[in-house]
Structure 1
Amino acid sequence: MTALPVLCIKNDGSPTRAGLYTDFYSGWVHGHIATTQPIPGTWLSSQATADQICVNYFGTGWRMAEHHDGGGGWGFHAYGDIRNDTKFWVRIINQPANCWNP
């Protein structure tokens, strides 16, 4: 029932920002990020549903961000201007830790 913004990403081939340090755990996603308005986790019934929410907000090519975007996980760099004082929904591919997992 918790409502959080969905972190959405569009991998559009954007070049790495000059001077940006990246490593395995903090890579470049070659794109942009944005967040939706807060959405209850119960609305995120599948990856396809979550991706469609991003498309509905931002347009074709957007999808829900994944923990490993940019490399090894835990952090990544992208173009965008999002709040840094809130949590948001993301998905993960190698663990049953998504809102839609039983």
Structure 2
Amino acid sequence: MFNKNLATTVATVGLMMTVSISAAQANPNAMTWTVLGSPLQLGGKTYVLFGADYSPSGITNPYVGDTSINEYRSLLCIKKNPLLPAPVGLPPSYLTPGGATAGSWSGGTVLVIPNIQGTQLTSLAVANRICNQVGQIVRGTPGYRMAEFHDGTGIYSGWSFWTEAYDYINGLAQSPPTRYWVYINDQPAANPW
């Protein structure tokens, strides 16, 4: 199990000592996403755009996290299938000002697990195991894992992706909007572990 540590040096009356604390203790926040817009019904299936609400009034912070890991949020899980084509009628992806491809097709289906405390997600392996086990119980199929910031398609995909949602999911359309634990593979400080 990978455990990131943050070393802090403390000087006291001529005594130097190094104290190690986990990054989760140093920054007890993790990144969350929300549902952007309304789900789409295409060909008898439901598609949802999950993503970062990164406008000036938004919450998502993919660099250091935005939600205390002591809080309970839904865990967003995804099962990718390279043979699952983008549905006809899905809005086109777009480039962000930073050059990322946002709003792209994920090539997957999602599973939402409500009421997961961020402190339960002690590693990516643990989060993936939770997704996989619930996927086998609820959907009768393995292969679900925690959704990732870059799960869309295209060059430098990120910030949001479309996915098939198996009709309405528990917690999908609530007011205020539900927030979902999502990890990011290149910004360790934004993850709950």
Query: TM-score, normalization: structure 1?
Result: 0.90
Q: Give the structure 1 partner of residue 105 of structure 2.
A: 28
Q: Which among 125, 128, 144 is matched to residue 62 of structure 1?
A: 144
Quick check: 1:90 aligned with 2:160?
no
Match of 1:73 in 2: 158
Q: Which runs of 5+ in 2 are unaligned?
A: 1-69, 94-100, 137-141
Q: Which has the larger radius of gyration?
A: 2
**1:44-78 deviations in whole A, cap 9, x for unaligned?**
00000000010111121100000111042111001
Q: In the alignment, which residue of structure 2 is the partner of 1:44?
A: 121
- Aligned residue pairs total 100
How far 1:28 sits from its partner (Å)? 0.5
- Which segment is superposed worse, 53-62 or 19-28? 19-28
Q: 1:99 matched to which residue of 2?
A: 192
Tell me the TM-score normalized by structure 2: 0.49
Aligned mates of 1:22, 1:48 — CA distance in 2: 33
Unmatched runs of 5 consecutive residues or more in structure 1: none
Task: Return the structure number with greater relative CO, CA threshold 8 A, min gap 6.
Answer: 1
**Code of the aligned partner of 1:93:** N
Q: Greater strand share, 1 or 2? A: 2
Shift of residue 22, structure 1, vs aligned partner:
2.9
Name the counterpart of 1:10: 79
Q: Describe the SS at the equivalent of 1:30.
A: strand
* RMSD of aligned Cα (Å): 1.2
The share of aligned pairs that are identical, in percent, is 39
